[in-house]
Chain A
Amino acid sequence: MNEFLNSKVFGIKWSRLLTNCQQTLYMVGWGLLIGTFFGLILALVLVLTRKGGVIQGRAARILYAAVNVYVNVIRSVPFVILLVTIMPLTRLIMGTTIGSTAALVPLVLYISPYLARLLENSLLECSPGIIEAAQAMGANIWQIIRYFLMPETLGSMVLALTTGAIGLLGASAMAGYVGGGGVGDLTLTYGYEKMNTPLMILTVVILVIFVQLIQFLGGAISRKLRAHR
């Protein structure tokens, strides 16, 4: 095994390639998990406080406007720029700006508004009639979310997360700039900068496989969830 790991593929050790694949999975996995958490909260705020939503009033209008602007602002900043501009924040949270874990901060910050928009669209697929029925039953906000809004739109949300995960994979390729590693890092530093074309192609193939896997998995889960619709 060790012998294999130390052998080289297009100029780098297999172990290096595997480590970087691991880093990509790490960043995409955790990034998606934490990003979904924040993204879903933002999406729920947008859906519940929008005009005609479940929560109405002055406070709701202000909250909606605030979240809406926040999502738009973050989404208009390209990831590479976000990555370097928020370095002080990254240091504050993680204690360092280098490495895969540190890269999670900008990744989450970048992906959560994106996921929020995707999930917002999914949640809006829930027919207003269902929400009205829930209210007529005396459901409170949490119960509306838990028993009506989320179950009704789960299949669609999984597809949204699939799209988000692929966006995250793309963004993680740039984490190499802050020593985050990952497959994209290999592509840039070895493949592009050192003009190692075969390695570059190999890493691109790996990224393509990742995308295919994510898409396949997401599609399959979504289909299962929507089986009886």
Chain B
Amino acid sequence: MIRIGHVSKTFREKKTEVRALQDVSIHVHKGEIYGIVGFSGAGKSTLIRLVNRLETPDEGTVEVAGRQLDTLKGKELSALRRKIGMVFQQFNLLEGKTVYHNVAVPLILEHRSAAEIEKRVAEVLEFVELSEKRNAYVSQLSGGQKQRVGIARALATSPEILLCDEATSALDPQTTESILKLLKRVNEEMGITILLITHQMQVIQLICDRVAVMEQGRVAEEGAVLDVFGRPKEEVTKRFVRTVINDQVPESFYDTIRAENRHYRLEQLKFIGDSVNEPVIANLCRRKGLEVNIIGANISQMQGSMMSVFILQLIGETEAIGEAEQYIDASGALRQRLFIDWDSRTITEIPAGKGADA
């Protein structure tokens, strides 16, 4: 549906040069919700604006619904933009006008008949559950209601693609969740492909099918949400994942761990979806010569699937622990050995199969 290929873009001010995008490629499939996550300045605003040509790339190609955008001009471009709805962080509504007028505007621009406009506006307002507010002025609405109007406006022209530019970043957590649910409905019930950018990993976790993590104008990592959350490779991705899933050893446990004077290892176990079919931790507890201490546990739901993270302190002889590790690896759980540097109080992760004993 959207194919961005080897795109670069540099903004030049008088003295400074900002390389907003450097050789970025992404492919958004029809019908999916694709999320781009990154800290501010990562280039995601520029990237999303390539899709409706609010920005033009210096290099590379952008293809939307089978059309190369660089050849489009004037009316053709307007026609394409009407097939792409856009929702903004600051809503960008006409504050002094009614909800009805705001949603009607894109249809007025298309010279639709009054009856047609009336019908379509009623439909989309119904969909975003704001029918009773149709004659209210935008300035009287709450942030969440304003964003619903923004979404209704974007849907008015029955687009195939919806672009969301930090659509929930100006909202409180509860409202964010309700707006995300609405976007999920837009995707499922209307079959609209959604490309969103955000700095909130929670947004990716709750509604996205696939995710790209951006850093300094590049895509650091890309893939299905469950994979990226379960096996983050890049440091930036790990930082983002940690904002929603706590896979760290709680600071307050450090002293308890340190006080243990028998031989032990710290292990982090991840169970993703249905990949593990046996009670791994219960079985570990039953192993001879091994004591299991659960230091941390975290279960998160995403995309109808579960991911749980456990941090275990395995206490026992080197051999017993080694056998336990082999058992875990064979079970399908993802294992990483953790080392705590007591001086700096930082943790190093050593993936299964690598590194020596503690």
Binding site for B on A (CB under 8 A): 127, 129-130, 132-133, 135-140, 143, 147-148, 151-152, 155, 225-229
**Residue among A132, A133, A148, A152 with the most chain B CB within 10 A?**
A133
Q: Is A152's CB under 8 angstroms from B94's CB?
A: yes
CB atoms of B54 and A138 under 8 A apart: no
- Of B31-39, B83-91, B330-338, B342-350, the segment with at least 4 beta carbons within 8 Å of chain A is B83-91
**In whole Å, how far is A150's beta carbon from the nearest beta carbon of chain B?**
11
Known: A127-B90, A138-B78. 13 other contacts (CB 8 A): A133-B93, A136-B81, A136-B163, A137-B105, A138-B80, A138-B106, A140-B74, A148-B94, A152-B94, A227-B96, A228-B96, A228-B97, A228-B138
In Å, the complex CA distance between A133 and B150 comes to: 10
Instruction: Give min CB distance, A95 to chain B, whole Å.
Output: 44
Check if B79 is an interface residue, CB within 8 A of chain A. Answer: yes
Whether the pair B97, A133 counts as a contact (CB closer than 8 A) is no
Contacts of A148 in B (CB 8 A): 94
B139: A residues at CB distance < 8 A: 228-229
* Candidates A138, A152, A226; contact of B81 at CB < 8 Å: A138
Q: Is B52 an interface residue (CB 8 A)?
A: yes
Do residues A138 and B109 form an inter-chain contact, with CB atoms below 8 A?
yes
Chain B residues touching A, range: 20 to 34
Given contacts A138-B109, A147-B105, A228-B139, contact A132 B78 (CB under 8 A): no
In chain B, residues 130-149, which have Cβ atoms closer than 8 Å to a Cβ of chain A? 137-140
Distance (Å) between the CB of A3 and the closest chain B CB?
52
B166 CB to nearest chain A CB (Å): 12
In the complex, A135 Cα to B52 Cα: how many Å? 9
Question: Please, which residues of chain A bring their CB within 8 A of the CB of B88?
Answer: 129, 132-133
Contacts of B84 in A (CB 8 A): 136
> A135-B54, A138-B79, A138-B81 are known contacts. Are A229 and B109 too (CB-CB below 8 A)?
no
Given the complex, which residues of A lie within 8 Å of B82, measured CB to CB? 137-138
Residues of A within 8 A of B74 (CB): 140
Q: How far is the CB of A57 from chain B (nearest CB, A)?
A: 12
Number of A-B contacts (CB under 8 A): 66
Residues of B near any A CB (own CB < 8 A): 52, 54, 74, 77-82, 84, 86, 88, 90, 92-97, 105-106, 108-109, 137-140, 157, 163
Report Cα–Cα, A229/B93, bound state, in Å.
11
CB neighbours of A129 from chain B (8 A): 88, 90, 92
CA distance A225 to B80 in the complex (A): 34
Which of A127, A147, A155, A226 has a CB less than 8 Å from the CB of B108? A147
Quote the shortest CB–CB distance from A66 to chain B (angstroms): 23
Q: Give the complex CA separation of A225 and B78 in angstroms.
A: 30
| Chain B: minimal CB distance from A101 (Å) | 38
Q: Are A133 and B77 in contact (CB under 8 A)?
A: no
**Cβ A133 vs Cβ B108 within 8 A:** no
What residues of A have a CB within 8 angstroms of the CB of B138 in the complex?
228
A-B contact pairs, 8 of them (CB 8 A): A127-B92, A129-B88, A133-B92, A136-B54, A138-B78, A155-B96, A226-B96, A227-B96
Contact partner of A140 (CB less than 8 A), chosen from B78, B93, B106, B163, is B78
The smallest C-beta distance from B300 to any residue of chain A, in angstroms, reads 34
A9 to chain B, nearest CB (A): 46
| Residues of the B chain whose Cβ atoms lie less than 8 Å from the Cβ of A137 | 81-82, 86, 105-106, 109, 157
> What does DSSP make chain A's interface, helix, strand, loop or mixed?
helix
Q: Contacts of B97 on A, CB cut-off 8 Å? A: 151, 228
Considering the chains assembled together, what is the distance between the CA atoms of A148 and B78 in angstroms? 16
Contact B96 A138 (CB under 8 A): no
Using CB atoms, name the residue of chain B closest to A153: B96
* Separation of A102 and B262 alpha carbons in the complex (Å): 105
> In the complex, which residues of chain B have a beta carbon less than 8 angstroms from the beta carbon of A138?
77-82, 106, 109
Kindly state the separation between the CA atoms of A151 and B138 in the bound complex, as whole angstroms: 14
Q: Across the two chains, which residue of chain B brings its CB closest to A144?
A: B109
Please measure, in the bound complex, the distance between the C-alpha atom of A132 and the C-alpha atom of B86, giving whole angstroms: 10
A132 to B54, Cβ gap below 8 A? Answer: yes
CB pair B94 A130 closer than 8 Å: yes
* B138 (CB) vs chain A CBs: closest residue: A228
In the complex formed, the residue of B with least CB distance to A152 is: B94
What chain A residues lie within 8 Å of B80 (beta carbons)?
138
Q: Which 9 A-B pairs have the closest CB atoms?
A: A138-B81, A138-B78, A228-B137, A133-B92, A129-B92, A136-B86, A138-B82, A229-B96, A137-B106
Check A151/B78 contact, CB under 8 A, given A133-B88, A138-B109, A143-B109.
no
In Å, the complex CA distance between A228 and B163 comes to 29
CA distance A127 to B139 in the complex (A): 15
Shortest CB–CB separation between residue A142 and chain B, in angstroms?
10
Residues of A within 8 A of B90 (CB): 127, 129
Are A130 and B92 closer than 8 Å at their CB atoms? yes
Assuming the A-B contacts A138-B81, A147-B105, A229-B139, are A133 and B96 also in contact, with contact meaning beta carbons closer than 8 angstroms in the complex?
no
With the chains together, A127 CA to B91 CA distance in Å? 11
Q: How far is the CA of A127 from the CA of B92 in the complex (A)?
A: 8
Are A229 and B95 in contact (CB-based, < 8 A)?
yes
**B134: min CB distance to chain A, Å:** 14
Which residue on A lies nearest to B74, using beta carbons? A140
